[in-house]
Each structure stands twice: as structure tokens, then as C-alpha cells.
Amino acid sequence: MDTKPHIIVNGHKHVLYQENVLSQKELLKQSQALYSYLNKRRSVREYADTPVPKEVIETLIKTASTAPSGAHKQPWTFCAVSNPALKTQIKEAAEAEEKESYESRMSDRWKKDLEPMGTNRYKPFLEIAPWLIIVFKKVHDLDENGEKVNNYYVNESVGIASGMLITAIHNAGLVTLTHTPSPMNFLAKLLNRPSNERAFLLLPIGYPKSPTYVPDIKRKPLDEVAEFYE
């Protein structure tokens, strides 16, 4: 076959895609193995204070940052916090918002829906987990003159990258939780983020406290989450 290392499309270089074609048997085996592994992932709220090396966190962030994004703008910043004083400030600010939420912002219906999860306004994991990653979305970019530059499909892009981060954390044998204290603007202030960034998600990362119990939830079966049009 005539394969060149690269071609030019619209004046731009396109490089050869490194394909990874599997046999039908391997394809099924690999897809089943990943399903079985990811099906073990659970949101965990109780952490051990065991440290996690910075290089691991760097690698997890690099993995998340391989996500597809609108026009390849990669409209995200992952802020990794291990500084104990900063974690305490984040916990205190998050708990102040959660107090408001649980006492007046959330409806009775919402609180009833959350009962099986056993959540409350206290967030000790924000201090105990060795790392917090706060994912920021860039609603637009800023050029060297501070002028706004467009980003596209920002929520979709940052959502996908966050999903990949959660997958990478689980793959490393660590646990996390998609925590969204609401409103989250205190995070941009505490972390001195530029004006084009908004907090998207807060993920504590670490080892689970041992033993840890998680709610006995079931996932919807395939026929409730998929429709096939063959």
C-alpha cells in the first residue's frame, strides 16, 4: 500500500494515523474487559490520607488532556491542589455553600433523591484526600493582547476530558468523586484563575479509606440506556 508518512490537506500537514486494528475475537475480549473494569468504578466519599506522587497526578492530567475538543482548542485547565492550607480554605468555602444549599437552596424532592447516597453538607474529604483537581473550563481564550478568542463546544469538551480523567483515576487504582459545590465561583477566587476560566468540577483523588462502604446502587441494563437501529 502507498503510505506516506504525511500528506497536506488545505495547506496543513496530516500525519499517518497509528491504527490499532484487532481481530474480531480480540475486539470483543478487549471491549468486555474494559466494561468489566469500569463497571467496578464507584464514587467514593471517604479517603485515606496516604500520599499520591505528583508524577501520577501529572500523568492523569496528561491523559485527560488527550480528550477531543471543539476545533482542538483544549479549553480546560486542571488545577491540582495538595497544599494543606489551600485544601482547608477550599473545604471551608465549599462547606459554607453546601450549608446554604442543604438548608435552603435544594428542594425537598432533591434531598429525598439524595437520601440513598448518604450525602450531607460536611465535606471532610476536601482536606483528607491528598489531591484535589479542580477542572476549569475556558469560556474563551485570551490572546497575547488580552483579546477574546473563541472556543467551541466548551461544556462538551470539558465534560469529555473530565470523563477521561475519572477513567484514568480508576485505572490507576485510585478513587474520586464528581463534587460540584454550588455555586463554585469561590474556586476561581481561591486559585487566582484568570477571568476567562469558570470552575467546572472538583475531584478529590486518593486511596479509599479501608474499609469503605458505598451505596448499593444498580446500573440501568443495556435495554434501558440503548436503542439499536439496524
Residues of this chain that interact with ligand IYR (CB under 6 A) are 98, 101, 114, 117, 119, 179-182
Q: Are 209 and 48 in contact (CB under 8 A)?
A: yes
Residue of minimal Cβ distance to ligand IYR: 119
- Of 90, 63, 94, 61, nearest to 78 by C-alpha is 61
Least distance to ligand IYR, CB of residue 44, Å: 13
As measured in angstroms, the least distance from the Cβ of 199 to ligand IYR is 13
Runs of H (alpha helix) within 15-140 = 24-38, 54-64, 84-100, 108-114, 125-128
At its nearest, how many Å lie between ligand IYR and the CB of residue 170?
18
Nearer to ligand IYR, 46 or 98 (CB): 98
Smaller CB distance to ligand IYR: residue 71 or 114? 114
Q: Are 70 and 156 in contact (CB under 8 A)?
A: yes
Contact 138, 155 (CB under 8 A): no
Smallest distance, ligand IYR to C-beta of residue 210, A: 23
Nearer of residues 153 and 186 to ligand IYR, judged by Cβ: 186
In the chain, what is the greatest distance between 2 CA atoms, to the nearest angstrom? Answer: 67
Rounded to whole angstroms, the Cα distance separating 110 from 123 reads 19
Nearer to ligand IYR, 182 or 185 (CB): 182
Rounded to an integer, what distance in angstroms lies between the CA atom of residue 134 and that of residue 129? 13
Chain position carrying cell 434501558: 224
Is the CB of 27 or the CB of 117 nearer to ligand IYR?
117
Alpha helices (runs of H) in 137-221, residue ranges in sequence order:
154-171, 185-190
Residue closer to ligand IYR, measured from CB, 104 or 145: 104
Least distance between ligand IYR and beta carbon 166 (Å): 14
> What residues have CB less than 8 Å from 60, skipping those under 6 apart?
133, 165, 168, 169, 172, 205
In whole angstroms, the minimum distance from the beta carbon of 160 to ligand IYR comes to 20
